[in-house]
Chains A and B, each alone.
Chain A
Amino acid sequence: MFPDSRSSNPSRQDFQTDARLSLRTRPLRGFSLLVGMMALMWMGVGGSASIGAGAPPPLAPNDASLRDHLQIWLRADVLPLQDGAQLFRWPDASGHHRDAAPTAGVYDGTGTPPLFVKASSIQGRPAVRFGQGNGLGTPGDRPVEIKGDAAYTLFVVANLKYQDGASRDVIVGFGEPLDPKNSDRPGAGLLEIDRTSEGRHRLDHAGGFKRDALVGRPGSFASFYDQAHLITLVKRPGPMRETSAIFINGEPIDTVASSGVQAVPDIRPRADFSVVLGHAHAVMGSLNGDIAEVALYNAALSTDKRQAVERHLAERYGILAEGPADEPGPELVSARERDHWAFRKALRPEVPKDGVSSGAIDRFLEVKLQESGLRFAPEADRATLLRRVTFDLIGLPTTPEELQAFINDTASDAYQKVVDRLLGSPHFGERWGRHWLDLVGYVDVTGNDQNAEQIILGPSKWRYRDYIIRAFNTDKPWDRCLTEQIAGDELKDWRRTSHYTDADRDLLIATGYLRTPIDDTHEVDLNKVPFRYQVVHDTVQVVGASLFGLTLQCARCHDHKFDPVPARDYYRFMSLFTPALNARAWLQPKDREVPDVSPAEQAEIKRFNTDLDRQLEPLVAEANSLRLAGTNRVLETRLAAIQEPVRTELRTAFTSPPEKRSEAQKKLLTEHADKITTEDVRNSLNEAQRARLDSLDQETAALRSRKKKWGDIRAFFESGPPPRGHIFQRGDHERPGRRVEPGWLSVLCASDPGALLPKRNESQGDSSGRRLEFARWLTEPNGAPASLNARVLMNRFWQQLFGEGLVPTPENFGRNGQPPTHPALLEWLAREFIDSGWRIKHMIRLMVLSSAYRQAGRLAEVSEKLPPELNESVQTALTIDPENRLLWRQRLRRLESEIVRDAILAISGRLDRSQFGPAVPLISLPDGSAALAADDQLPTPTSRWRRSIYLMGRRNFHLPILGSFDQPILNTTCARRSHSSVVLQPLTMLNDAFVLEQARDFAARVRGEADNDPARIAVAFRLALGRRPALEEIEWSQQFLADQAINYRQANPTDGQGDASAWTAFCQMLFNTSEFLYLN
């Protein structure tokens, strides 16, 4: 690491030098004016704190204090060549005259000259460009003074290009990699890229063939391609593996021991050339990319010295690995900005004293109504109310029995009882969990899901969906639930837990919250740094949207234009997640699945299964031999009936293993031999054998069924030490700017919060604890973050129950969103939510028990119910508040896509109410539409009739009935669904196979439940619309049934299905009514 700027004593002189340096070497190219100015401020121009204040001065590679050890120093910026010229000599600036030259022709090698480029890929600075076959070497008669068990330090400034083909790229090396005399002692020091396996490129400090000392983790270098970077290699005397360290941009790389021989090196010079770059010799792999500078020392530089040189090079080449440190500059968020209604701490407003209604919610609403001379509408009729609250709370229609019971219940608390019953229903979590899943963008696929036919499921994603449903059902306190979702993996040291309980598993499953964004890095071509960063940015977006109702992503490129979210805050916030989503040490999705049992339990399960296998082995062998004997017997009997020479050929064909059979043999078999079935074999055995075989089969089956297995959890966890955080200029990870520490959004803190310093906590194990600290900050009951989070959630709930949020822009609580229509009510709800112990059911109960919720919505009903003298008020209300912002009546709301489908199933009687488990598979039809998988591909026969939340969720490809009713395209999050009315909806409801099938089942159910038409019609209305039919409706329906029976009979005079078909049509039309689709 570079020296910590705050730990040593600055001198004024140093600071000024630094500031000038940084301005000269890092031009503010392409900055927007704003960003440029901010950068200037951060850099300290104008007298505030600055880059490098306090750091020891950088050292040039040939500084007097280092010169004695400097062996070779190659720098491209002194080459007096024309752009594009071939490089025949690279003079050594160390003073030792170890000039490098192409080895082909000059030395005994194969390396052709590289090119000199004036404006290279290293920040446009001069460099030497290596391509296929290019290689340089320094004279063999001037070897570097690095011999035997030596110490050395190597610096390389390069921008390397990805290539495939050969197995290694030698960047810089010296010594003899081949050492035939002493094969177990490394003879060279080579810095190379090991690319033996596809896409797993890593940096390697090698001592020679099979004598690798130290290698980076597989794939760890892939992310450094196409970027200027500084590589440092330090070796002290002693066994190579233990005494080497590699740094990229000043940070140590995570290494693994190689499979090579671990030994104390014995470095020997080669006779032909000494230091090599690239393809200097036939055995050295090609180098591809630009090299600007190389410095090699025959000593292991101290950390201070190494960092000083790194600092010098980094600054000279504009490699901003070490940006200026994160220090509070000018306050970026003003007090006025903090005072925005959404960012303030929620205080409990006083409930208005006057009012007709008793509940707090109603009182707040009434104040505004009264100001406009309005009042709540009378309570909706019972059937309407029951249908409304049942759909709202569990997403299913009421049953006729429930309706009857409610109508008959004259007790004053009849409605409360209904509400409590519904809140206790296991279906509550399915309904309300979905709202949260929308907000976090939950689907069952992992990638961008752009190809209809290619479905890439997150195999254990569904467990998070189930966790959420259960959390809503059990009313898990929301602060706890959020903490688990954000930092479940840091609530318990799961890596060191010997036995996982269900609760432990839940902690990991809950972190699926952070695993919802699109991640396509399972594809080699997409497992690249930009795509990885996209996952990180999307994660920030999901968190920002779901917790804060803010569009943080704007601050990725620049300080947020509308909201007080500086880019610094964005990157501080992002740093909470980068230890787990480290673009430079990336885990592909499959590597983020963790077993749902501990390592000890895995071992135990394996032991147990091995044990079973051992018991199985003799039984299986015996059964096999019995079967073989039987098979042979059947075969011989069959062959006996066939003439030679076919008989012999057939026998050969039969006895050769299926995969080795020739085409002719296969043909022969299909022509002559019927398959020998297990039944044939069994019948060929005698009675005793048969009995034995059966008992063996039973025994083995019983043993096999006892085998244990474990599942996986798609979890979010840290995979290594936290990477350093930076502000990315214009959002570009290749342009890292000022360094940032993890932290919060300043606007939610009383003052600039400074850096987050997580407290150490037993439970977090190896994790940094950043997210746990974040969760604490978020859920501190008296903090502004909790208030904002509670407002966002309460608004979301309100929107769900009243059609529109108190804040009409649920996705935007910032300055560009709309302010709440009832600020005091929103504050009260937020405060009540937190103070009640973050109880979701408590809040929903309060909302649905309010008069506001219970009032009638239909204008006609409102007018009918009001006494004549008040009828005028409807007109007044329509004039004053035509959009019903003040809530003088309930709003008409369309059912969501899933609820439309679930309701159809419930009404037809087909609904499979089983809960949880892997998603019911969807398939892609040739025409591109989605459909449920065939029956034999379903977990159970009735799976196709399960609730929609259990069907496979895709981002872009929905079942027609769901897609046409606005199931959202979930690329990130969805705070508000659209309720469109498009022509595909009638087409679906009139013509889709699912609707037709369900209408048939509905008709059969109706006909079975009563024996005369009027009664049946009444049953159908009760089931589909939750009310009794009106007299005229019964008449219309009877007429319709009669007409359609005739129409059907005329169309199909013989099938005798006229009545049944008419009833199906009737039931289908009930599904098609507007009334069915809307809550009133």
Chain B
Amino acid sequence: MISPLSPRSAPSATSDLSSLLARAELGPLSRRDLLHRCGLGLGAFALSYLAGESTGRASSRPHLDLRPRAPQSRAPARAMIMLMQTGGPSNMDLFDRKPELERRNGEAHGGNFETFQQGNTNKLLGSVYPFRRYGNCGMELSELLPEIGGVADEICLVRSMVSDNNNHTEAIIQFASGKILPGRPTLGAWIAYGLGSENQNLPAFVVLRDPEGFPTSGKLMYQPGWLSPIFGGTEFNPKGTPVQNLSPAVPVPAAVQRRNLEFLAQLNRRHQNRNPNEAELDARIRNYELAARMQLEAVDVADLSRESAATRQLYGLDSSNPARAGYARRLLMARRLVEAGVRFVLVFAPVRDANWDHHGDVKGGLAKACAATDAPSAALIRDLRARGLLDSTVVLWGGEFGRLPITQGQGGRDHNRHAGAVWLAGGGFKRGFVYGHTDELGYQVTSQKMGVSDVHATVLWQMGLDHRRLAFQHLGRDETLTDADITSATVTTDLIN
């Protein structure tokens, strides 16, 4: 096994040990236990394990924990929020103004467009809403995005994204994991693997999805693949109990729970003493401690009632539009999680009425989707900025592909993998910046093309990770997120300060 990352030395033995001992009520090792181990001649083992140092051969093993790790290089960002707009937001209606397409609206077109579904016509469809210029930078965006327009000067807009597949499932999996095949680790998992977590009471990778349902590709978007399960995304429910099984299915009095854990620690310690030199058993005991801490902290971080009325207002938490209120809730929670030290938060756009997949009625569909997502997305940027978190947090907004310049059915648009738009903010990305060009109809990228893997390489870079060196050996191959030998992924330095 190889590890491309040399883990930063973990907290010193003494501090880690003493903090462990200080948590005696949760059942850590007692001093006597440690001495007992030392008496068996295993003290060195136990100490080095507890100190987070691997021993002997194990030092060459890949990471199996969430302790924070130093990045491979100095980098501005330490956290990332991915606003996943599954469905395929329409690039030429929202981000990529096409005067020629608008001029030829309704005209027949003889060209061959790669379509996905049936029911496409050869009639060109110009943007269904007018564009406006926003911010000092004068970024052209749809009039449906006034709030995002309001933070245009923070945004780095990429209009030249391409994907490999026109089906949602494959394209989404690619957006999440670099390739269209299921089973590979996703971006969040790679980042958690590379950097660990800054908060040992919470998972490193948290997922906030619309409780109304799973988006296409569902859990595949946050699976750890063949990395350890600890790097996979943990779902936080935006309402009620934030984590599955965080609290007992049947309420248990606090005194009972405390005594339960005490008794359990008693039995487990005895078992561990009889099984010295088994690091796994120690990890398990520590997991019970983490579980106990998480029961407190996760509830805490998910408690939006502590937010000020102004903040609630900013995000639109109390909006009468349920899709908007729900999305706002997830975004506010995302900010709280990043603030608490969570490394990667994946937020999903609404899945029901306000989704982005507008095959039948792009006009009506966009109105709904933008009404639900515009203001909360902008609120997140403003809020992060106000708290001084924007510079250290990458925000990525985007879907799996764009849409076609021709009409499908009565007034819809079909999928288009040849051109799509995403935007980034914070984390050292350029502000008020527009990148990439498409042809006059917005069908194909003509310059500054960015593949999904280029985006991945670039955000990893901003987090101090080199996409070629962040590797894990799987089935005899050093696998990376971007697989640059095949995808030719590169860091797009044009986008970064």
Contact = CB atoms under 8 A, between A and B. Distances in A.
Tell me if chain B binds chain A.
yes
Contacts of B245: 960, 984, 987-988, 990-992
Given A983-B294, A1043-B259, A812 B476 contact: yes
B106 to A, nearest CB: 15
A571 interface: no
Interface of B: 40-42, 45, 55-57, 108, 110, 112, 115-119, 122, 167, 169, 181-183, 203, 209, 211, 213-214, 216-220, 223, 228-230, 234-235, 237, 243-250, 252-253, 255-257, 259-260, 263-264, 266-268, 270-278, 280-281, 283-285, 287-288, 290-291, 294, 475-477
B219 A1051 contact: no
Contacts of B244: 927, 929, 960, 984, 987
Given A860-B274, A987-B243, A980 B229 contact: yes
Contacts of B45: 882
A452 B219 contact: yes
Given A452-B218, A551-B475, A115 B246 contact: no
Given A525-B116, A928-B214, 18 more contacts: A115-B110, A518-B182, A525-B167, A811-B475, A815-B476, A858-B274, A859-B275, A957-B219, A966-B229, A969-B223, A982-B229, A987-B246, A987-B291, A1040-B259, A1047-B256, A1052-B253, A1066-B263, A1074-B284
Contact of B248 (A972, A978, A979, A990): A990
Given A858-B274, A993-B250, A927 B260 contact: no
Contact of A982 (B276, B277, B287): B287
Contacts of A809: 476
Interface string A919-940: 0000000111100000000000
B475 A882 contact: no
Most chain A beta-carbon neighbours within 10 Å: one of B247, B257, B260, B477:
B260
B211 A1072 contact: no
Contacts of A562: 476-477
B169 A450 contact: yes
A1047 B254 CA distance: 9
Across the A-B interface, give the 7 residue pairs with the lowest CB-CB distance, nearest first: A816-B476, A993-B249, A1051-B253, A986-B291, A971-B183, A991-B245, A1047-B255
B119 A164 contact: yes
22 contacts: A162-B115, A164-B118, A448-B169, A448-B182, A452-B218, A453-B213, A525-B117, A561-B477, A811-B475, A816-B477, A859-B40, A883-B57, A978-B229, A985-B287, A986-B284, A993-B250, A996-B250, A1036-B267, A1047-B255, A1048-B253, A1048-B256, A1073-B264
Interface string A113-144: 00100000100000001011000000000000
Contacts of B110: 115, 129, 131
B211 A926 contact: yes
Most chain B beta-carbon neighbours within 10 Å: one of A131, A956, A982, A1074:
A1074
Interface string A52-81: 000000000000000000000000000000
Nearest to A1030: B270
Contacts of B56: 882-883
Contact of B280 (A894, A966, A1066): A894
Contacts of A452: 213-214, 218-219
A161 interface: yes
B170 to A, nearest CB: 9
A863 to B, nearest CB: 8
A1074 B268 contact: yes
A762 to B, nearest CB: 41
B40 to A, nearest CB: 7
A121 B290 CA distance: 59
Nearest to A1068: B260
Given A164-B118, A860-B273, A1051 B256 contact: yes
A129 B112 contact: yes
A633 B53 CA distance: 87
Given A131-B110, A929-B244, A882 B55 contact: yes
A358 interface: no
A853 B178 CA distance: 43
Contacts of A982: 229-230, 287
A485 interface: no
A618 to B, nearest CB: 50
B249 A1074 contact: no
Contacts of B181: 971
A850 B158 CA distance: 64
Nearest to B286: A981
A62 to B, nearest CB: 30
A1080 interface: yes
A971 B237 CA distance: 26
B122 A131 contact: yes
Given A814-B476, A981-B280, A1033 B270 contact: yes
B291 A983 contact: yes
Nearest to B225: A969
Contacts of A980: 228-230
Contacts of A984: 234, 244-245
A617 B218 CA distance: 50
A1047 B255 CA distance: 6
Contacts of A859: 40, 42, 275-277
Contacts of B275: 858-860, 892, 1080
Interface in A169-225: none
A986 B229 contact: no
B229 A991 contact: no
B169 to A, nearest CB: 6
Nearest to B230: A982
A1047 B257 CA distance: 10
Interface string A244-286: 0000000000000000000000000000000000000000000
Nearest to A1036: B266
Contacts of B252: 1065
A1032 interface: yes
Contacts of A1043: 259
A1069 interface: yes
Contacts of A115: 110
A699 interface: no
B209 A978 contact: no
Contact of B284 (A858, A926, A1077): A1077
B264 A991 contact: no
Contacts of B223: 956, 969
Nearest to A524: B118
Interface string A1057-1080: 000010001101110111101101
Contact of A1074 (B55, B276, B281): B281
A878 interface: yes
A987 B250 CA distance: 13
Contact of A928 (B57, B235, B243): B235
A980 B234 CA distance: 15
A991 B273 CA distance: 27
A82 interface: no
B263 A121 contact: no
A875 interface: yes
Contacts of B235: 928
Given A926-B211, A1047-B259, A1069 B219 contact: no
Interface string A761-797: 0000000000000000000000000000000000000
A243 B116 CA distance: 38
Contact of B271 (A453, A526, A1050, A1073): A1073
A928 B246 contact: no
Most chain B beta-carbon neighbours within 10 Å: one of A525, A981, A1047, A1069:
A981
Nearest to A971: B183
Interface in A804-862: 809, 811-812, 814-817, 858-861
Given A860-B274, A1072-B264, A1073-B268, A991 B248 contact: yes
Nearest to A808: B1
A886 to B, nearest CB: 14
Interface in A437-482: 448, 450-453
A1044 interface: yes
